[in-house]
Amino acid sequence: MHEPAQPSTSDQLTRVLYGDNFLQEHGFWRRLLTTEPFRRSGGGTPDERLALSYHRLRILNDTLDSG
């Protein structure tokens, strides 16, 4: 008798991170992270890069608060 194959480490981590609805959860983050603020390059002065990082964090925070 053959035992059922054990899920791979990748499959297990995916389930832990995204729950049972991987496509919906992954799609949400993929759509968010392909919006304009996240597409811009990280170039610029250190102050500009810092401002962009905080802008992106505020977007993430607002998104999480509204969901």
- Mean pLDDT per segment of 10 residues, for the chain of length 67 residues? 85 83 84 89 86 94 84
Query: Domain for residue 37, yes or no?
Result: yes
pLDDT of residue 25: 81
Query: Domain for residue 2, yes or no?
Result: no
Query: Domain for residue 50, yes or no?
Result: yes
Phi-psi region of 43 (alpha: psi -120 to 50; beta: other; left: phi over 0): beta
pLDDT of residue 42: 65
What residues make up the domain containing 34?
9-66
Query: Domain for residue 4, yes or no?
Result: no
How many structural domains comprise the chain? 1
Query: Domain for residue 44, yes or no?
Result: yes
CA 3 vs CA 6, 13, 41: distances in Å: 9, 22, 49
pLDDT of residue 66: 79
pLDDT of residue 60: 93
